[in-house]
Structure 1
Amino acid sequence: MFNIIGIGFSETKLKEQPLSAIDWLTDIYLGDEVVPNLINPSIDVDSAFSTTQPINPSTSTKATSRSKKKPLDLSKIFLKKSSFENLNMMISQIDNDIPLPLLSFFYKILSIKDIETFEDENSHQLLNAQIEKLLNFGAVDKAKFILDTERGNNNYFFDRWFNVNLLSYTEQEPCKSLTLEHYQLSKYKEKIFCLTTLKNIKRAKLSLTALEALEIIPLRDEILLYNLLHPNINLLSNFEDLESNITPLDYRIYKKIGRNLSLNKLPKMYQYSTLLEESDWKVKTSATEALVKTGAVKFEKLISTYLEIPEEATGDLSKRAWLTINLEKKLKAMPTSNTSKEFTQLFRELKKTGLESVAIRHYSHELLDLVNNQQNSRTVLNLLLKSADLISLRKLKNKKKLTPIYQNLIFDTALKRKPNSKITSALSMALQEKSVPLAYKDMIEEEKYGDALLRSILFLKTTNLTDPKNLKESIGLLNFLGFDDLARETSIYLLANKVVK
């Protein structure tokens, strides 16, 4: 195993603690995860995807010390005046192809539960749309956090709650509830699974026999449940395409009877379940990489997963793991050494699978140290800019290393002349805007803050960035609503990663 090199990570599951609504909204990643004992403990994990972090007084300048507008209270952005249909449509259209600072901000919006100002049905539908998006990202634990509290208020979300507990391997409580209460006949599969889970095999078999006698159970379900209750008999060999229209309950039954499924054909919420199972290292590592890209799990989790790969493993996946572990080992042994080569090699390899940006963001503090301590650090400086982490960027010792536009975006230093590029000019002007952008004026006047924020995020998708006007107005809205650091980080990310030019 890779961990023979002496790097120790703790995989102990953190115990969940009750969070207040404020704690919940300020938690970038919205919930507890398995967090390894980092080799680089100096990194503040929770602020690694910061949006509105305060500036360190010791590093601030006159340019950055100007008073900032108080950010809009996210818990109050979904009001009765908003259109549920529009909100639902925009939530469904936003994916993880947005700048990383915006992705973490979008997770905050998806976490909002204070939507009582809607009529009851619309409130449920909106929260259901948020949960659906979290599950599409593979963020099962974050969806579960919401459902654990909402289910206590009503039974509207029981099916969702049951499914996320199946995906989280925490089905004991919902199963007890399901078997103790009267249940709909249509939930026969859920009840038989739960009876099996609760070790009441005799009652489960009697239930299946009764369903067969009534001839109300489809043949596919009958064979699936029969295999569940008789694990030594395999009747599924003639069934093909098991992954089509699979439900969380089907997934768990297949796992119980030892049936392997191809994760490539399944939604990302099933990849989260893979992290909790005794899976093949290739399957588990591939699932972790996929979830890191959507923001569902942190890069630290991927590092700990890389450590579990056998030392004799070969291929691109093991190469990424080896480069990551080699870098971590060197940072631990010699924190002040020049690791430019190791960083460059790792990021080049991670770029092939879409993980470069997340990794650069994760290592922003170490990249800052390299830039401040090395004379020839242009390459590393460019990497640091790609991280778009304002906390690190504002600690640069020599601001003269930056071009005027980056000095403007990071430190709010005035530009001596207007940029030649329409894009850079639009970004700079957006950050100085004091009034609400025209495209969002009606929404803001009607207090449709949720509509406005989601629209701005949607317009900042990679595929929607060709119009400088949309870019200026969307960044300008974030700035107007008090999310100044988020607007700056997004602008820096777009420029440094050449998403816009």
Structure 2
Amino acid sequence: MRTSAVGLLSLLCLAGPLAAQEGKSSGGPLSAIDWLSESVATPVAAGTSAPAPVIDEPPVTKAGGALPATVTTSALDGPSPDGVGLIAPKVSGLPHDLWGVGLTHEIAERLVSHPDDDLPALRQLFLTLLLAEVAAPVDADGKGELLQVRIDKLLALGALEQAAALIQAAGTPSPELFRRAFDVALLTGAEDRACQFMAEEPHLAPTLPARIFCLARSGDWDTAALTIRTSKALNQITADQEALLSRFLDPDLYEGDPVPKAPDPVTPLDWMMYAAIGEPLPTEGLPIAFSYAELGPRAGWKAQVEAAERLTRAGTIPPNVILGLYTERDPAASGGVWDRVAAFQAFEAAISSGDAARVAATLPEAWAKMQEAELEVPFATLFGKPLQEMALTGEAGDIALRVGLLSPYAETVARKRKPATAEEAFLLALAAGDPSLVLPPDSLGRAIAAAFREPTPSTEAKALLDGNRKGEAIIVAIDNIGRGVQGDLRGVTEGLSLLRLVGLESVARRTALELMILERRG
């Protein structure tokens, strides 16, 4: 059985993990990403001042939106950057005083160390924590330390557009935030806008590789070439940098020569230049954020599909993206991703036809392929409702029930469906909100039912909740459930209990249904 749950989100920590520092007194940043491009020469530490955020600005919805077209300013006595968010409390379901009396460094450590393999519902909850508009921690001093940690974690989860929008909401970026915005722009196809913004903001002091790249992008090849020669003569760039930059400026001149070895780690700027010289680096072994670079037309269809699968599995892009790519054209071959494409296309055509017999014939194979790729919840989001409108029986009927229970329409499904087995009875009771009235089918079901019968959070989570540190308690609850997925069923009870005690009832139900239906047990 599979031991990881999804990645809303895959991106990054295999090649570029976030690392918490030992203590705030060290003076270093609370988080760090080793694959960020050195786009500015003297990036400030996370602890230095940043402009106050502009909170009345609408969030961006397009990639690259972290780079404002015009510079915005705000009053010096404005709210703390650490309180900036994209989701209001009435939408997120989280209180405005989410962090309570929690301290910045302790909150940051929990965010940074949180693993990236949550169940889909928990991944969405964690993303909401990162994006929520809440009060800054009590010790926030306007430096935006927690804001940067949140942005870095979003990058680590592959949520590039969300990170871009959060940077935009914070107002004019500091050099540290611009470094992140620059790389987001590179990976989402907005590099020209990033270069323009850098040119208009002299205080950002672009590094030589970034300056040369932007000069070339603007068509100023002569100045770019001169900058390379001068920088090499003054030992301001390494021999490897000089080789790659020179080849980037004139690939034809180096035709037949060995391609410069890729650096470790690869930065988005490196990746862009290798792609430009016709030697694109595969993104599969890179942090998940790089998958964004292959979503656009500059990548082949297979690469686009595989990148979209990684990001959809991570929950950071909407399911409609993979729907569009899966159905874009006929599969070019068989095996692997092509078999998933073929099965998906056959089912999508069947569901569009409204022919129940065709749906019954194609659903089992499509569902098996979605299970193989751990894309069951996105599939359910796309097709949960139309499947409930068809009279399906047998294997297709059983699958349709589970798809419906994983969809946003689970409660409606529970009201309309009559159980055929004890397991179905438990699942339907769970979707309706009271599984404690039905006999659980197994040990996992008993652990879930206990949380609904008599919520009992872990000692750590309860202490945090009682100490007015609700946000940290929620993170602990998510971690407890993750421990339960690996076999410690007490963690399931404790984690679901805490979610229910803090009012996240719908999240607790969706998580419990995913625990029961998805193959995510250790």
- Give the TM-score band, short-chain normalised: 0.7 to 0.9
* Matched AA of 2:463: D
1:458, 1:375 → 2: CA distance? 38
- 2-side partners of 1:328 and 1:365: how far apart? 13
The residue aligned with 1:341 is 361
Q: CA contact under 8 A between 1:243 and 1:266: conserved in structure 2?
A: no
CA shift, 1:166, in A, is 1.4
1:82-481 to structure 2, matched below 5 A, reads: 82=103, 84-85=105-106, 87-95=108-116, 97-112=117-132, 114=134, 116-117=136-137, 119-120=139-140, 124-152=144-172, 154-182=174-202, 187-234=207-254, 237-239=257-259, 241-242=261-262, 244-334=264-354, 337=357, 339-370=359-390, 373-374=391-392, 376=394, 379-380=398-399, 382-384=401-403, 387=406, 389-391=408-410, 393-394=412-413, 396-401=415-420, 403=422, 404-413=425-434, 415=436, 419=440, 421-433=442-454, 438-461=459-482, 464-481=485-502
1:151-180 CA distance string (max 9 Å, x none):
526444121111111112213343223234
Cα deviation per residue 1:464-483 (whole Å; 9 max; x = unaligned)?
Answer: 55233321121011111111
TM-score by length of 2: 0.74
Shift in Å at residue 181 of structure 1? 4.2
Cα distance 1:419–1:181, how it changes in 2: closer, same or farther (>3 A)? closer
1:399 is paired with a residue of what secondary structure? Answer: coil
Give the letter aligned to residue 406 of structure 2: S
Change (3 A) 1:234 1:384: same
Amino acid at match of 1:384: V
**Which whole-Å CA distance do the structure 2 matches of 1:421 and 1:312 have between them?**
43
- For the 8 Å contact 2:455–2:493, the answer to whether it is kept is no
- Percent identity, aligned pairs only, is 20
Paired with 2:459 and 2:106, the residues of 1 have a C-alpha distance of: 23
Contact 1:385/1:492 (CA < 8 Å) preserved in 2?
A: no
Superposition pairs of residues 474-493 of structure 1, within 5 angstroms: 474-493=495-514
TM-score (norm 1): 0.77
Alignment partner of 1:359: what SS? helix
Aligned to 1:7: none
Conservation of the 8 A alpha-carbon contact between 2:158 and 2:314: yes
Q: What is the letter of the counterpart of residue 227 of structure 1?
A: R
Contact 1:163 1:248 (8 Å CA) reproduced: yes
After superposition, the Cα gap between the structure-2 partners of 1:348 and 1:436, relative to the gap in structure 1 and judged at 3 Å, is closer
Q: How many Å separate the matches in 2 of 1:241 and 1:305?
A: 32
Q: Pick closer, same or farther for the CA change 1:392–1:327 going to 2, 3 Å.
A: farther
CA displacement, residues 252-308 of structure 1 (integer Å, 9 cap, x when unaligned): 122222222122222211111111242122222211112111112233211211233
Q: What is the RMSD computed on CA atoms of the aligned residues?
A: 3.5
For the pair 1:77 / 2:98, whether they are aligned, the reply is: yes
Range 443-452 or range 406-415, more displaced: 406-415
Q: Structure 2 unaligned runs (5+)? A: 1-53, 64-89
Q: What is the rounded CA distance, in whole Å, between the counterparts of 2:441 and 2:183 in structure 1?
A: 53
1:417–1:399 Cα change, 3 Å: closer
Aligned residue type for 1:471: V
Note the C-alpha offset of 1:309: 3.9
Deviations for 1:169-209, whole angstroms, at most 9, x for unmatched residues? 21334322323444677711111111222222233233223
Greater RCO, CA 8 A, separation 6+: 1
Partner of 1:165, secondary structure, is: helix
Q: Which amino acid aligns with 1:431?
A: F
**Deviation of 1:81 (Å):** 2.0
- The answer to whether the 8 Å contact 1:82/1:451 transfers is no
| Distance change >3 Å, CA 440–CA 465, structure 1 → 2 | same
Q: Residue 500 and residue 185 in structure 1: after superposition, are their counterparts in 2 closer, same or farther (change >3 A)?
A: closer
Query: How far apart in 2 are the matches of 1:74 and 1:431?
Result: 22
- 1:424-477 superposed Cα distances (whole Å, 9 cap, x missing partner): 233223124478664422211222122111111112226655233321121011
1:19-30 superposed matches below 5 A: none
Question: 2:55–2:169: 8 Å Cα contact kept in structure 1?
Answer: no
Distance 2:92 2:206 in 1: 47
- Conserved? CA contact 1:137–1:268, under 8 Å: yes
1:138-162 Cα offsets, whole Å, 9 max, x none, are 2221211112222526444121111
Partner amino acid for 2:234?
L
Does the CA-based 8 Å contact 1:431-1:487 persist in structure 2?
no
Q: Where in structure 1 are there 5+ consecutive unaligned residues?
A: 1-18, 25-29, 34-68
Quickly say closer, same or farther: Cα 1:409–1:230, change in 2 above 3 A: same
- Conserved 8 A contact 2:175-2:204: no
Letter in 2 for 1:466: G
Partner-residue secondary structure (3-state), 1:460: helix
* CA distance 1:241–1:79, shift in 2 (3 Å): farther
Q: Deviations over 1:19-42 (max 9, x none)?
A: 989997xxxxx9558xxxxxxxxx
